[in-house]
Every structure is written in C-alpha cells, then in structure tokens.
Structure 1
C-alpha cells in the first residue's frame, strides 16, 4: 500500500515538473519537428533526382510531429511511456498494437517459449507446418497478426524498453533520411 502511494506521488511530482517545463518542451519539439520535415523533404528530392529505388513515404506534419514528441516526453515524465508507445506510436507501425504490448520486454526464455507455442499451434492445424522451423512459423504468425517481419517485431516489441522506445520515436524520421541517403549513395557508387 505504501509503495503504491509513493509511486503515485512520484508520478504526480513528475507530472508537475513536466508542466513547469511544458513551454520549453513545446519549443524544443517544434524545432525538432521542423528540422525533421526539412530533412525528409530534402531526402525525397534526393530520391527523386536519382535512379535509386527508394522514397520517403510521407513528410510528417510539423504540428502533429511536435505534438507526438511532447506527448512522448510527458508519458516518460509520468512513467507511462509503455502505455503511450503502444497506444499512440505503435499503431502507425504495426497491426494490433494492444495485443503486441503483451510481448513487450519479454525475457529470452519467455520469448522462446512463445515462439514454440505458436509453432506447436501451427503444426497442430496443418501437417505441412511440420517441415518448418519454429522461427519460420513464428514469422508467419507475426506477419499475419502484426503486419511486420519477425525481426522487426522482436526489435520494436519484444526487446522494447523505455530507452529503446524513446530512441525509436526520436530517430524514426532520421532513420528514413539515412536509408534514402545510403540507397542513393550505393546507386551512385554502382553498388546497388
């Protein structure tokens, strides 16, 4: 009981601290969002000017992206980053994020047991599944259920931690820019 009270007090204190610095956070988030949008537009121009098969899916709206960054910071400050990540950020990146959240941060043994359970379920439903490895069957399941490859699911869900979550959100657009630049550079260097 005392632990819950202390935890609640910490959350309230962190929330109050966030409110105190909200104007600075809003300004910072807006600056970051503007720079990202500029970089994404330039990456798209670079992709279009080259023969490389790469593109930028969309340039985020500056105001929406700034709001997203602010919401992430507030969730981190109030110790609800996992709830925010799977409720607000993940829906743009995978299917059924609420269901995916149950696999967040699983340790190695628990994750391997889950992979084995999915494989067993597939094998019980289809004799053809006997010829596939457990990870192959888990990959089929994850692709069908969550719309992403197994490796991406492991990286962004199973291996999720608050630090990883923050990094994923903060670098999402930078990663896109880097991918465009690397693909165009490889094309220009004749390595594609």
Structure 2
C-alpha cells in the first residue's frame, strides 16, 4: 500500500514538478561550477546532462527504488554501460560473501570443470574465466563494481553524483586560486 502511494506521488504532476526543480537546480549548479573550473584552469568533465534527461533519470531511479526493482534498473541502465553484457540483477549488491555470490562462483566453476575434465584450478580461477567471457571483466573487478557494493551507495551515486562533482570542482578551483594568491 505504502509503495503504491509513493509510486503514485513520484509519477504525479507534483512529483514530476519537484524532480524537475531539483534537476534544474542541479544543472545550474553544475554549469556555474564548470564556469568556475574553466576560470581557475581546473580540469572538469566535458558535458552537462540535459535538464529534461536528468529529470527523467531521477524519476526512473526513484521509481525503481520505490517499486523494489532497483537491482534490475541498475543492471540494465548502469551495469550494461560498464560491461560487455548486462550484469545479472541478482548479483547487484548481493555481497561478496553472500550465499548468492558463492553459489554463482561454484556454478560457474562446475560448468568449466564439466567442459574441461581434469582441469586443476580453484573455483575462483574458473569462475573468472566465465566472468570474463560473460562480462568482459576480471572476476575481482566485477565483484568490486557489482557484487560487493552497497545498494545505498549505488543509489547515492545516481542521485548525488552531479552534486559531488560540483563540490569537487569547487574544492579544486578554490585550491588553485589559493595557490595563485600565495604566489605558488
């Protein structure tokens, strides 16, 4: 019931308006910090996302969280950009020590052993072969970027990433200006 109410709010005209305001302010802050970075001679990202696109992205994140489909959303929207194929949603934030992940490693290793009778390697080494074939990534990288992360960290990155970028640009520009003022 609560999920349904929140979902209706997110998809409502008022919800869209609120997300639009947030997206507009975020983009304006980014533009101002990009201008500051340029004036201070500090490196910055190349592009600012379009306001409407950012609003839609925020709405999609909030909807995915509210509906309980965040892992699927992240795998399809973000994970697919990081790897050669879309990560399994059941891997997203599962935890490197979770039964889900340990079972996956065992399953992958067993599959390699079935195909290559007598192969001598650890489960992780064999799982690494499958992971590389499936995702184009080493097992440790896939674990670090998909499995071992916290869902809350992934959500924060999606929602607050642009603001963190702006904060870092302000910090870098301030340091550059202070160095110039001190004659360094």
Q: Calculate the TM-score normalised by the size of structure 1.
A: 0.63
Which of 121, 136, 141 aligns to 1:145? It is: 136
Q: Which has the larger radius of gyration?
A: 2
Residue by residue over 1:70-110, the C-alpha shift from the partner in whole angstroms, topping out at 9 and shown as x without a partner, is 11111111111111122124445x23462265542243436
Of 74, 86, 91, the match for 1:98: 86
Q: 1:55 corresponds to which residue? A: 44
Q: Deviations over 1:145-165 (max 9, x none)?
A: 359x94x972x5233343223
CA distance in 2, matches of 1:62, 1:146: 33
Contact 2:95-2:149 at 8 Å conserved across structures = no
Q: Distance in 2 between matches of 1:36 and 1:100?
A: 31
- The whole-number CA distance in structure 2 between the counterparts of 1:20 and 1:33 is 17
Q: 2:33 aligns with which of 26, 32, 43?
A: 43
- State the secondary structure of the residue aligned to 2:136: helix
Q: Does residue 4 of structure 2 align to residue 19 of structure 1?
A: no
Tell me what 1:76 maps to.
65
Contact 2:26 2:162 in 1 (8 A): yes
Distance (Å, rounded) in 2 between the aligned partners of 1:146 and 1:100: 14
- Going from structure 1 to structure 2, the CA distance change for 1:41 and 1:14 (only over 3 Å counts) comes to same
Check conservation: 2:75, 2:92, Cα contact below 8 A.
no
Secondary structure in 2 matching 1:99: coil
